[in-house]
Amino acid sequence: MSALTERTRLGLEVLATGVVLGIAGDALLRATPWGLNAFLCTVALAAAAAWLVYRRRIAVGRDAPWLAMAAVLLGSNFAIRDSDALRALDAMGLAILLALAGFSLRGVALRGRDAWEYVRSGVVAALSAWFGVWPLMARDIRWSELPTGGALRHARGAIGGALLAFPLLLAFGGLFAAADPVFRNVVATALHVDFSAVASHLALTALWTALTAGYFWGALIRRTPAPAADAQALSLGIVPVGTALGLVNLLFLVFVVIQLRYFFGGAELVQSATDLTYAEYARRGFFELVAASGLVLPFLLGADWLLRDASREHQRTLRHLSGLLLALLGVVMASALQRMRLYVAEFGLSETRLYATA
């Protein structure tokens, strides 16, 4: 028998933490829609992470405490807001915070990272949550290191005796039940179990256990070093990136010119060109413009990443093209807000329209 290694100890504590959180998740998160129960589970998850880090003296990023507080604050919205749309947004926000927290728990600072590294952190956190429990139990916890004597030996003996007695109990119990109807009724009442409910509780507990233990495995045990700069990583010159930016700017410019024409031309021009009322014309395009606006930021971040090793002159050209695109984007967003104003004036304000505008 060998002493437990630190990796096995941490693995066992991660697994035990996952079991506790799995039981809590089964007990609390069955009630829907989520409210105070989701907040309590968020607090429990943050507390479990803090306990593991403190107990094992794990070096984490300086952002980790702030991310934990932000998660608790966001989780509190489940308890104080009853809007389904807000709950969905809160859940998305928690997922993003958990991805960033997984990054920080590995000791990696969040500042100064490329956008791709944040995306990769989210993918790693999701994969760890879903599949991490298997390498945790099969590789990181060395079961051969567990002691085999003392109380554990007696417990194993008791379990073996119970398994040995089980068929005998069935045989004798069946005979006694057939011989005495009173005994049969007592046994039937005592063993009346809703097996579907038991299976449901076991399945949900196992699911939350696997998700939480897998997440902590990816964040605390599978501690990969911070990504290093790779000189051979993909990098493009100003010509392809500038061409792409220029073409996107041209497309935005054409759209802006058309928008200015129709909005300053009034309802008569819109109806003559589209066979739509002014309000219908406004309604059809708002969400499309919001989606287009949301794509601009990742596009510009990608362009900046592709030119990270470019000369100062090329960087200046990129900034000029990006500034032009942002200016055109401002006009597009103003057009979207104008469409929403007309839409609300015609059809009224709703919860979905308010959140989309915000």
* Tens of pLDDT, residues 103-155: 888 888 888 777 778 888 888 889 999 998 898 888 888 877 777 666 666 66
- Residue 152 domain-assigned? no
- Residue 298 domain-assigned? yes
* Positions in the chain whose pLDDT score sits under 70: 1-2, 148-157, 160-161, 164, 168, 172, 176, 180, 182-183, 187, 191, 193, 195, 223-236, 261-285, 342-343, 346, 352-353, 356, 358
pLDDT at 161: 66
- Residue 155 domain-assigned? no
- Residue 153 domain-assigned? no
- End-of-domain residue from the set 221, 254, 282: 221
My answer on whether 339 and 261 are in the same domain is yes
My answer on whether 216 and 68 are in the same domain is yes
My answer on whether 209 and 297 are in the same domain is no
- Predicted TM-score (pTM) of this structure: 0.67
202: burial class by Cβ within 10 Å (0-12, 13-18, 19+)? exposed
My answer on whether 73 and 101 are in the same domain is yes
Query: Which domain, by its residues, includes 341?
Result: 238-357
- End-of-domain residue from the set 166, 190, 221: 221
pLDDT at 350: 72
pLDDT at 226: 42
My answer on whether 217 and 77 are in the same domain is yes
Per-residue tokens: 53: 């880090």
My answer on whether 246 and 212 are in the same domain is no
My answer on whether 97 and 244 are in the same domain is no
Phi/psi-derived region of residue 251, left when phi > 0, alpha when psi is between -120 and 50, beta in every other case: alpha
The DSSP call for residue 275 is S
- Residue 264 domain-assigned? yes
My answer on whether 323 and 211 are in the same domain is no
pLDDT at 47: 95
- Residue 78 domain-assigned? yes
**Angle at 85 (CA atoms; ends 82, 90), nearest 5 degrees:** 80
pLDDT at 52: 92
My answer on whether 214 and 244 are in the same domain is no
Number of domains comprising the chain: 2
- Residue 154 domain-assigned? no
- Residue 164 domain-assigned? no
What is d(CA 135, CA 144) in angstroms, rounded to the nearest whole number?
A: 16
pLDDT at 93: 92
My answer on whether 342 and 263 are in the same domain is yes
Q: How confident is the model over 12-41, as pLDDT tens digits?
A: 899 999 999 999 999 999 888 888 999 999
